[in-house]
Structure formats: structure tokens, C-alpha cells
Amino acid sequence: SNVTWQTTTAPQLFNRGYSMFYGVSRSQFRVWNGAFGDTANRFDKKATDAVDFARGQPKWQSVRAKLELSSDPLQPMAFGGAANPVFAGFDYLLNEMWTVNTTFPIFAE
């Protein structure tokens, strides 16, 4: 398979280990959403969704910090910064809820 991205952050598991968020190159976040007994969205399949942000400077710069999760173990909100100077919030399906422009990219959790 021709994968055009690389994982750049540690995965954030939720939903009792059946789902996870992770940051990848090209200033993207991806999510796998699964459920007990559901083999359609196993971790060995294509991600169930992805969100793209503008690339940083230099263009090869990727997401630097993993998404942080709210305290809901099944359907958490996720918060994080992309490679460009923006901070964003997402629901558990990786639907973007809001974005805030920042002066500098987010470098750490």
C-alpha cells in the first residue's frame, strides 16, 4: 500500500480502547472509531475520518503535540494544535467544533 503520511504523535485511546486519535504528517489529525464486535473499523483498516489544516513553515512541518482529551471516556472532546498557528477543538468523531488562531504553533501538550 502507498501510505502518504507518517504518524507523528502517540495515539490517544478512548471508548474502552476501541477508538483512537493520532496526529500525522501533512498537518492532519486522524481518528478510528470502533465498537465491540464491529470489525468494519478495526485499527488495521483505513481511518474513519481525518481533518486537514494548512501546513506549517517549513512545509514539511507536522503536528507536534498529541490531542488532549476531555474526561468523558466514551465520547471525549479533543483539543490540540496543528503544524500552523491554530488551536482547535473536536468532538469524538473528529468533527471540528471551533478553531482559534495563535501567534505560534502549539509545540507541546
* 53 within 8 A of 37, measured Cβ to Cβ: no
pLDDT band for position 68 (50/70/90)? very high
pTM of the model: 0.82
Distance from C-alpha of 86 to C-alpha of 56, rounded to nearest angstrom: 10
Model confidence at 63: pLDDT above 90: no
| Each residue's pLDDT tens digit, 36-56 | 777 766 666 677 888 888 887
Distance of CA 31 to the CA centre of its chain: 6
Identify the H or E element spanning 97.
Answer: strand 96-101
How much is the average pLDDT of 6-22? 89
* 107 within 8 A of 65, measured Cβ to Cβ: yes
Amino acid identity, position 14: F
